[in-house]
Structure 1
Amino acid sequence: MDLFIKITHENSLKFSTAMRFVNFISLTRDAIVDTSVLEKPPSLPTSVIGFLSKVLDIDTVEVEILWDILGDFAWSFAIPYQASKQDIEAFMEHGLERQLGYRDVYPPYRACAVTNCPMYGARLTDHFKHKATLFTSSEGALPIFTHSLRCRGCRTSYYHNYRVDSATSTRVYYGGVPDVIQVAMHYYIESSLLESFTTYMFLAWVSATNCARVYNMKDSDPFLLNAKHHGCTPTLEDDEDDDKHHGKWQTSLRLTPVFAFDGFLLYSLLRHHEEQNTTLSLPHDNITQSHRLDAALEARNKQMEGTGQEYWAHACDICLKLSTNVHGDTVKMQAAVSDGDTIGHYCCGVHNCRNPLPNIRAFWCHEHVSMADICAAKGCDILREVPHRTCPNPEHRALEKQYYARGKSLFVLRNRLEAARAFTSSLDTMPVDPVTLAEECSTIEGADNDNADMSSSDPEVKMGKRLRAQFARKRTSNEQLIMRPCGVIVSRTTCFGSEAISAVEEFVRKTFPTTQAMPEYFFYDNNCQLWRYVRNRHEEHWRYTAMPVDVFHHNAKHKASDIHCQLHCNPAGFPEIITHDGHWVFNTSIAEQTNGWFGKFQAIVRDMEVVRFNFFLDEMIKRRNRLTVAQLRRDGHSPILMDKEALLA
């Protein structure tokens, strides 16, 4: 305090000016350090002197005097300073023109960190600066400058999040999750904002598009007050070109859905590698931003398959029961439940083909691309007649005409009108039930979805023949989940052609690859067919696992006349899973309840390509499991992780 009194007395400066000087030194610290070592520089850069002169309304000489007197104190000031609205406005008005932005980003290294470099530990020199945009949680979209440095010895370039190895052209991330993440060239997003987006996604099913829309609609961004002076006021129209620049500023101040979703992907990858104590590496050159993450996403997807989920080895007193038998031995009863949900991604038009599509608009994989020249009618192998999708066969051509007509509103309206007339005429003077009428109209119209086959209305259908065609892009059948009765999701897989028994059984063995890992009770809605399938194929693997049908489906979909189903899969035939007062020990309806959450992602993932589709769903499951386990812990159910290595041995 005595130092501040001396300064203000000898130099006729206000106390508030001296304090603001210290605060702005904190805000411009990285610009002051520039490419030097981290010690206090003997003098301030010209740009910083000019900026401080303007914002403090003092001469440049007085700025230099303050640096001489207060520099040591300001440089060692330990309390982090939170910029005020007025401070941010000062950067907008006086900083940008001097290439000083509020919250500019710099590499964390000022000396080369490559141990085998001949200049290891030497100061980095080659300094590059670019205009950029930073999207923040509380301060809006900010125009900033981004800085990079390069070592002249090994030619390694250092950026804010990563360094680039010149020999391999690979981005090697520094480790951990930084406060600010670069999501595209010259575009950055705060990690806290990306965490918020992720929470919106897995709790409220908010798409990246709507995350971006909500963000852009905020009207409290501090920079808006003075951004007009720099021609960088963002617009909020959804149809604006993503690459459109705004006035004098080089980068857009509008958050796009692509930035929001790529930010989510990169943020999730960095969190994953931090948790695994590994380092993320991505290609740097000769690749588009849209494909830069593909290999890393695919690697994480592979790791998640089967036993890869974080809570694969979960157990609690809801999903695992311990009891003592008549011999005094402790008996373990652990259950798993499986069910499918009709979420799907686009896939090859050949049934059950698992090859990836070359792009999201493709109908066929590379192996089956020749099918594009074949008639779309099923069972027909004649070449189509361009530009039609079918061969000259009149019946096949009629299917095509009907398919494209169904997409027109007039066709739909006429069908509804004809259906109503046909229904009411058959009733003569009887009153019309609106519900029955709606059902009849719906039956005549037929379903209209991407995966629906087009069927003919020819009279031959009544004789057992049915002509079908596939004109739309094909989707996978469903996503299959295995979970514990407590709600923890153990594993997920994609059923391509259908929810075949063989595919479900393979999924179970991949999720529980050893007999030690297999649950004592596996609940599935079609267990009677699964039981028949495993008897002559994988009976040894299932020898300690009972296979009752879950209670809901057994009552609703299984015939009493099916003797094998009643003897081997009726849950009432397992008295140990029934309490003394007639209740079920395990919640076998958990899959149906979980699908209420899982199925709502359909609108978000329907147009995702397969790598991002799988990564997104696995990440949502991972997040939900953490929330579920935290709730189990709060409710006193004592969740634990069993010894995974022992279970897989």
Structure 2
Amino acid sequence: MPDGTLARTEVVVTDGVTIGRPCCGVPQCKNPLENNHHRFCSVDPDHKKLETTCAIEGCNCPVTRDSKSGKYRKACDDPVHVKMEGANVESLCSGKSKTQCQKVAKLDNAMSSLDPPQLPADLTVALPIQDGDEWYKHDAQTGAVCLVRPAVMTSTGVLDTQPEMSHPAVDCESKDTPPKLKAIFRRQRTNNEQLVVRPCGVINGHGTMYHHETVSNVLIMIEQLYSLPRARKPQHLIYDSNCNALREVLNQCIKFFDGMGMCIDAFHHKNKHKASDTFCRDRCDMKAYPELLDDNGKYYFNSSIAKQTNVWFGAFHNICREMTPASIPITHT
């Protein structure tokens, strides 16, 4: 420590990497698919029945056959639903699938945290997009249907560019605004693998995030991992969204994290979190903990090790993307 005293400090860093495999399209369902070409599992009869039901959210009509090919559609005979399926097929032919965008975005985000000398010139200012829900926009006048993919920055915490909330009567959308049309035409994939890495680079554990990498899921994973027999709870957990995770811990009174430092990666804390967020600055800054600094006041531990590991780990995406859960070795480590 900077004052010359000695102390034992164990640190772990966690971050997610996109190694998505096919999974059931019903949220929170962890049952494996009977076949990787299916969209829903066969373990639950209600989920299996969805294979022959219109893919548009809220429609329970059965699917119909295509008059030209004779094959079953994934939509009913509603003209708008048929056009939505056509827009989905067109997006697949363009090569800009959600999975490809997600893979490139998260890999770029991981590389952006490395030191500038290690990066190619075209990646030093990369600002990739975050996973977003797709929906379909229908123009009632022309009858046209198009697929919409929102572009959201990957910055964690609160963005400086986030608009301030004004009067609710001004900001709320009109009640006449039509609801977004959503559908499950394609196989759903797990969102990411959440790695827990020691500063030396050893992967200490992992968890599969099926639909979203929420801070509550990360906290549950950390608690389960270090509650195993003979497991030692670390003194510090470093995570890009630890300001939100710490708020969750305080609001839910989660006793497991008592006495554990919850800091944000030094790169993210400096560049991707709002400077006016006093809670984040006071409670999640690595500089507030002397045991995390060396004699010169610099960071003793590599807080970006998880993202650096993700660059290597992400190379296995093309190998694992079509595997079943039983075929992916990491799911059993």
Query: How far is the alpha carbon of 1:324 from its aligned partner?
Result: 7.0
Amino acid of the structure 2 residue aligned with 1:398: K
TM-score, normalised with respect to structure 2 = 0.69
Closer/same/farther in 2, CA of residues 583 and 373 from structure 1, 3 Å limit: same
Query: How far is the alpha carbon of 1:592 from its aligned partner?
Result: 0.9
CA contact (8 A) 1:353 1:497 kept: no
1:555 corresponding residue in structure 2 = 270
Amino acid of the structure 1 residue aligned with 2:306: A
C-alpha distance in 1 between matches for 2:139 and 2:294: 56
Amino acid of the structure 2 residue aligned with 1:369: K
Amino acid of the structure 2 residue aligned with 1:456: Y
C-alpha distance in 1 between matches for 2:306 and 2:285: 18
Equivalent position to 1:370, from 19, 37, 49: 49
Closer/same/farther in 2, CA of residues 592 and 608 from structure 1, 3 Å limit: same
- Give per-residue Cα distances to partners, 1:458-481, cap 9 Å, x unaligned: 358895742222211110000010
SS in 2 for 1:333: coil
C-alpha distance in 2 between matches for 1:356 and 1:528: 34
| 1:502 matched to 2:216 | yes
C-alpha distance in 1 between matches for 2:32 and 2:248: 29
Amino acid of the structure 1 residue aligned with 2:280: C
Amino acid of the structure 2 residue aligned with 1:579: D
Closer/same/farther in 2, CA of residues 510 and 482 from structure 1, 3 Å limit: same
| 1:458 matched to 2:138 | yes
Query: How far is the alpha carbon of 1:490 from its aligned partner?
Result: 0.4
| 1:403 matched to 2:88 | yes
C-alpha distance in 1 between matches for 2:139 and 2:51: 29
- Give per-residue Cα distances to partners, 1:322-341, cap 9 Å, x unaligned: 9975xxxx632110000000
- Give per-residue Cα distances to partners, 1:222-241, cap 9 Å, x unaligned: xxxxxxxxxxxxxxxxxxxx
CA contact (8 A) 1:322 1:333 kept: no
Equivalent position to 1:354, from 30, 34, 55: 30
1:590 corresponding residue in structure 2 = 305
Closer/same/farther in 2, CA of residues 406 and 497 from structure 1, 3 Å limit: closer
CA contact (8 A) 2:2 2:294 kept: no
SS in 2 for 1:338: strand
Q: Structure 2: which 5+ runs fail to align? A: 66-71, 98-128, 141-147, 149-172
1:295 corresponding residue in structure 2 = none
TM-score, normalised with respect to structure 1 = 0.37
C-alpha distance in 1 between matches for 2:34 and 2:222: 30
Amino acid of the structure 2 residue aligned with 1:600: A
SS in 1 for 2:262: coil
Query: How far is the alpha carbon of 1:388 from its aligned partner?
Result: 2.1
Closer/same/farther in 2, CA of residues 392 and 334 from structure 1, 3 Å limit: same
C-alpha distance in 2 between matches for 1:400 and 1:516: 49
Query: How far is the alpha carbon of 1:563 from its aligned partner?
Result: 2.4
Equivalent position to 1:336, from 2, 5, 12: 12
1:565 corresponding residue in structure 2 = 280
Query: How far is the alpha carbon of 1:390 from its aligned partner?
Result: 1.5
Closer/same/farther in 2, CA of residues 564 and 452 from structure 1, 3 Å limit: closer
Equivalent position to 2:79, from 394, 401, 411: 394
Q: Percent identity?
A: 34
1:77-476 matches, within 5 Å, as 331-366=7-42, 367=44, 368-386=47-65, 387-408=72-93, 455-458=135-138, 465-476=179-190
| 1:610 matched to 2:322 | no
Query: How far is the alpha carbon of 1:500 from its aligned partner?
Result: 1.6
Give the paired residue count.
258
Say what the alpha-carbon RMSD is for the aligned residues.
Answer: 3.3
CA contact (8 A) 2:33 2:41 kept: yes
C-alpha distance in 2 between matches for 1:602 and 1:516: 29
Amino acid of the structure 2 residue aligned with 1:458: H
Closer/same/farther in 2, CA of residues 485 and 523 from structure 1, 3 Å limit: same
1:637-648 matches, within 5 Å, as none
C-alpha distance in 2 between matches for 1:351 and 1:401: 25
2:244 corresponding residue in structure 1 = 529
C-alpha distance in 2 between matches for 1:398 and 1:341: 34
CA contact (8 A) 2:205 2:225 kept: yes
Q: Highest Rg: 1 or 2? A: 1
Closer/same/farther in 2, CA of residues 516 and 324 from structure 1, 3 Å limit: farther
- Give per-residue Cα distances to partners, 1:540-581, cap 9 Å, x unaligned: 211121001111121232112222222211223223322342
- Higher RCO (Cα < 8 Å, 6 or more apart): 2
Closer/same/farther in 2, CA of residues 464 and 484 from structure 1, 3 Å limit: farther
C-alpha distance in 2 between matches for 1:600 and 1:459: 41
Amino acid of the structure 1 residue aligned with 2:136: S
Amino acid of the structure 2 residue aligned with 1:504: V
Closer/same/farther in 2, CA of residues 377 and 510 from structure 1, 3 Å limit: same
